[in-house]
Homo-oligomer: A and B are copies of this chain.
Amino acid sequence: MLSLLDLRRRIDSGELSASDAIRQSLQAIGERDGALKAFASVDRSAVAGHGLLAGVALGVKDIIDTADLPTEMGCKAIYGSWRPRADAAIVSLAKMAGATVVGKTETTAFAFLDPAPTLNPHRADRTPGGSSSGSAAAVAAGLVPLAIGTQTGGSVIRPASFCGVAAIKPSFRLLPTVGLKTSAWTLDTLGLMAASVADCAYALEAISGREMRLPDDPGAPRFALARQRFAGDAAPEGEAALEKAARLAEKAGATVVEIDLPRPFADAWAIHGTVQNYEIRVSMAWEYLNRRADLPPRIGGLLDEAQSIRASDYDAVRGAARRARLAAKDFFAEHGVDAILTYSAPGAAPDRSTTGDPRFNKLLTLLGAPCVNVPGLVSGDSLPVGVQVVAPFGRDAQALRAAAWLERIVRA
């Protein structure tokens, strides 16, 4: 993988020019993306910018508007060659920080569950995960040092786990969603993927304008080990990764307390689907009414089913989300923990008939809490399996700190 911080150090020292860094990424894409299929479109004339992210080649998920490249939403039948007038806010912010958009990354259609064409760089018969499939694969394959994804259920943390890259899904609306194709407006969250947690922190600071950089010695965190049992069991390799991370963390001086998440969290987990599906039905009303036949099977089927969800069903369940957000505030203080440690995904990447299961991500998206995928662990057959570090809403720097500490331990 391309370390963003290492790249920046080499550019700052004059060893590498920002332009050469961009050219290297474009060349790598040209040579290797034909097989990987991480990119939906590439800007071969992209040039380097100026600022904290100068020389950083950026992949942008293809449900995010770009004025200079097509935005096809993973569904050429409806959005083939579609070219928005303006860049999404996140694209402008990244460019203002100096990043260079080298291409749009493949997404599942409308960021739902129909697989994208992208392969998992670790094994071609496995999914890279979804819906930010191309973003995770592009970083994992070393094509770019930074990519933008989005998560409504588990679409940043899950592909990051399957591809073995670091990722942060920040607090809800820390990154602006203006110019993103909306799935569910109370859930859709932009996220960043990079080679390491420290890379994510540097990029999040540069793009969001908030202080995120890590202290040299972050200090051992206090973790609540939470299995989210209401979401079902993890696969053996997911369980093994979580146990190994907890054991290594404890050995290195962290406090790790096993705590079951209390009732309001289970209730909120259970209603994520109603919130998501009702909002998707409203957001995609035009596509459903006018282009049903052009929708791939999973998003089409979801919309068929979602037509029967009434506004009153949706209104009735939203209290559970509110109560869980309040409970989350108390949870961290009450137990004196810095972060929750939980599964990023049930296990390693499954085969390509699916994009994997977001069941350990849905609650955390609904809470709006900052979540970090910590890479570095592998399954028995050498596939990446991440673990997830979660801090309270608004404490993104705290999530990154705990995750960076853990990453150092599990990679050691």
Give A contacts to B, CB under 8 Å.
67, 78-79, 82, 85-89, 91-93, 95-96, 173, 176-179, 182, 185-186, 208-210, 279, 282-283, 285-287, 289-290, 310-312, 315
Q: Across the interface, do B86 and A176 meet the contact criterion of CB distance under 8 Å?
A: no
Please, which residues of chain B bring their CB within 8 A of the CB of A186?
Answer: 173
Please report the C-alpha to C-alpha distance between residue A45 and residue B178 in the assembled complex, in whole angstroms. Answer: 33
The 3 closest A-B CB pairs, nearest first, are: A92-B285, A209-B311, A86-B286
Are the CB atoms of B89 and A290 closer together than 8 Å? no
Using Cβ atoms and an 8 Å threshold, which residues of chain B touch A67?
Answer: 286, 290
> Are B82 and A85 touching (Cβ within 8 A)?
yes
- What are 20 of the A-B contact pairs (CB < 8 Å)? A67-B290, A82-B85, A86-B286, A87-B286, A88-B286, A89-B283, A89-B285, A91-B286, A92-B285, A92-B289, A93-B282, A93-B285, A96-B289, A176-B279, A177-B185, A208-B311, A209-B310, A209-B311, A209-B312, A210-B315
Contact A283-B185, Cβ < 8 Å, known A209-B311, A312-B210:
no
Pick from B178, B286, B312: contact of A283, CB below 8 A.
B178
- Nearest opposing residue in chain B for A183, CB measure: B178
- A176 in contact with B283 (CB, 8 Å): yes
Expressed in whole angstroms, the minimum distance between the Cβ of A165 and any Cβ of chain B is 26
Q: When chains A and B are docked, how far (Å) is the Cα of A88 from the Cα of B287?
A: 11
A328 CB to nearest B CB, Å: 16
**Chain B contacts of A79 at CB under 8 A?**
85
Residues of chain B within 8 A (CB-CB) of A85 are 78-79, 82
CA of A285 to CA of B279, assembled, Å: 27
Q: With CB as the reference atom, state the residue of chain B lying closest to A176.
A: B282
Residues from chain B with Cβ under 8 Å of A82 in the complex:
85
Report yes or no: B282 in contact with A89, Cβ–Cβ below 8 A.
Answer: yes
| A375 → B minimal CB distance (Å) | 28
A86 to B88, CA, bound (A): 17
Contacts of A290 in B (CB 8 A): 67
Q: Which B residues are CB-close (under 8 A) to A208?
A: 311
- List B contacts of A209 (CB < 8 A): 310-312
Which residue, A87, A179, A186, A282, has most C-beta atoms of chain B within 10 A? A282
Alpha-carbon gap, A78 to B87, bound state (A):
13
Q: Please report the C-alpha to C-alpha distance between residue A70 and residue B279 in the assembled complex, in whole angstroms.
A: 26
Q: Which residues of B contact A93 (CB under 8 A)?
A: 282, 285
A89 — nearest CB in chain B belongs to which residue? B282
Bound-complex Cα distance A91 to B290 (A) = 13
Task: Note all chain B residues with C-beta closer than 8 A to A89.
Answer: 282-283, 285-286
Closest to A88 in B: B286
Inside 8 A of A88's CB, which chain B residues have their CB? 286
Q: What are the residues of chain B within 8 A of A179 when measuring CB–CB? A: 286
> What's the minimum C-beta distance from A286 to chain B, rounded to whole angstroms?
4
A177 to B182, CA, bound (A): 10
> When chains A and B are docked, how far (Å) is the Cα of A210 from the Cα of B290?
24
Cβ 8 A contact of A210, one of B210, B279, B287, B311: B311
Chain B: CB-nearest residue to A86: B286
Which residue of chain B lies nearest to A91 when distances are taken between CB atoms in the complex? B286
Residues in B neighbouring A210, C-beta threshold 8 A: 311-312, 315
A98–chain B nearest beta-carbon distance, Å = 13
